[in-house]
A and B are shown apart, each in its own frame.
Chain A
């Protein structure tokens, strides 16, 4: 890698910590971003000459602070001079930075930066886009491409999200344990959303959307570096790795989704699976199960089966049962029903999803599974009705195409041989 390429990757890696620290200092997202940008410009000028600093994050924070302070001073030139103590704290800044060489001192800064992107007034897409822009430092153009929208539309969304966030009350004092846990939960959910945004891609979109998954994994690992003893963050990272490991096998040559049971498992990424296992094992030691750990464990059971027929469905059923008590939701029960159908048969699974008809009345997968179970039981007409409902609710052509395959089979089988 040449100098500029190398410096770019250092700046990218340093961004969350540096912008987070500058945000705490200036208490303005715009100011933090601008001064970080200016510090990066200076890095590009001086690092190739003087060599890289030993601690790039500390260097960027210090330079960013100085630049920002200079600007504040200049901005006040027309008015009376500020008091000395307001501007001459650079020595303190350096002392502070020496103390903060330890990563753990950045953790609340990075967490705060991620957390303000999770403002409840923002839509999921806005939250993700804001995090990609502010925390990851992706350009608006890159984000727009990943979301398959025009650049100006994305620019508007991000600007609106930023001004919403700017009005919000953000606590700058170090959070207490309860507040920290709440922030961590919100940020983990946002990272999972970001991952799913990339993971739900199909067809021609895949190429442009995989970077969203990569970025989610990078942020999740960053979070785990800052909170190394949090089992749920281990679980989240493991979950993302185990799901992302299947990427190469998820689509066929035509870009159509290949179901888990039909995937060519030799295409799964063994490195990611091994890392996922290692993290699940670490998390288990804490004996504090949570939804991400359980979902990671379920993904781990799938990853463990060399072929679909070897899947330990009884184990998956158990894990979903625990997930149901921890985080009850109709979708979790629906997923459990798939495992139940393998362990105890279609009849038992059908009985299990019966009560879900109301809450999942608009859910494609409910009717897909119901149709599949009815088909297994030979109740062809009822199966066809369920499949028709599924097609009506399909969000993508790939989903509809998949159900049509079932319907075609039903029609074929109902014809006299």
Chain B
């Protein structure tokens, strides 16, 4: 089963990391994700720009375009991984492994529809 690992984090904290701290987190995660990639289990991985770069379109009678993220939350969605896991147990273990020594929050969501080429098969 394909799972989305949504990485939620306090954005102000992540923005205040120095480049060295940021690089260290990425390097630590790569140890885990590189192994998954080697096994062909890692789908696209995405890191989003800060929420200040976000634009929100809210549909209604009149669509409303707003600057900023959809929800102002303490932990913002900063990126995600798609990983092919054999079970929820494996997914949970992987989340613990990827996020080791961090204060990140992972929301693990099974993927219902995946269209890497953008068109339904």
Contacts and interface: CB of A to CB of B under 8 A. Distances in A.
Interface stretch (B33-41, B67-75, B88-96, B113-121): B67-75
Bin the interface of chain A by size. Answer: 20 to 34
A228 interface: yes
Given A1-B25, A52-B103, A225-B12, 16 more contacts: A1-B103, A9-B21, A10-B103, A13-B16, A14-B12, A103-B72, A218-B16, A221-B15, A224-B52, A228-B67, A229-B66, A237-B52, A278-B53, A279-B52, A282-B55, A282-B67
B10 A13 contact: yes
Q: Which of A1, A6, A54, A214 has the most CB of B within 10 A?
A: A1
Interface residues of B, number: 26
Interface string A218-262: 100110110011000010010000000000000000000000000
A292 to B, nearest CB: 14
Contacts of B102: 1
Contacts of B72: 102-104
Q: Which of A102, A221, A229 has the most CB of B within 10 A?
A: A221
B13 interface: yes
Interface string A43-76: 0000000001011100000000000000000000
B62 interface: no
B50 interface: yes
Contact of A55 (B13, B25, B74): B74
6 contacts: A6-B103, A13-B13, A55-B74, A102-B72, A222-B12, A225-B11
A221 B49 CA distance: 12
Contact of A13 (B15, B24, B65): B15
Given A1-B101, A52-B103, A228-B67, A282 B53 contact: yes
A274 B49 CA distance: 9
A224 B53 CA distance: 9
A96 interface: no
Given A52-B103, A102-B72, A103-B72, A12 B16 contact: yes
Interface of A: 1-2, 6, 9-10, 12-14, 52, 54-56, 102-104, 214, 218, 221-222, 224-225, 228-229, 234, 237, 274-275, 278-279, 282, 285
B52 A228 contact: yes
A54 B11 CA distance: 14
Interface in B46-67: 49-53, 55, 65-67
Interface string B15-47: 111100100110000000000000000000000
Interface of B: 10-13, 15-18, 21, 24-25, 49-53, 55, 65-68, 72, 74, 101-103
A278 B67 CA distance: 12
B13 A221 contact: no
A14 B12 CA distance: 8
Specify the main secondary structure of chain B where it touches its partner: mixed
Contacts of A2: 101
A54 B101 contact: no
B108 to A, nearest CB: 20
Contacts of A1: 21, 24-25, 101-103
A221 B50 contact: yes
A284 to B, nearest CB: 12
Nearest to B19: A214
B66 to A, nearest CB: 8
A102 B68 CA distance: 14
A18 B16 CA distance: 16
Nearest to A17: B12
B51 A10 contact: no
A282 B65 CA distance: 11
A225 B52 contact: yes
A9 B55 contact: no
Nearest to A14: B12
B21 to A, nearest CB: 7
Contacts of B101: 1-2
Q: Which of A10, A214, A225 has the most CB of B within 10 A?
A: A225
A275 B16 CA distance: 17
A280 B10 CA distance: 25
Nearest to A220: B52
Contacts of B65: 285
Nearest to A230: B67
Given A2-B101, A221-B50, A282-B55, A10 B68 contact: no
Nearest to B102: A1
Q: Which of B51, B67, B68 has the most CB of A within 10 A?
A: B67
A275 B50 contact: yes
B67 A214 contact: no
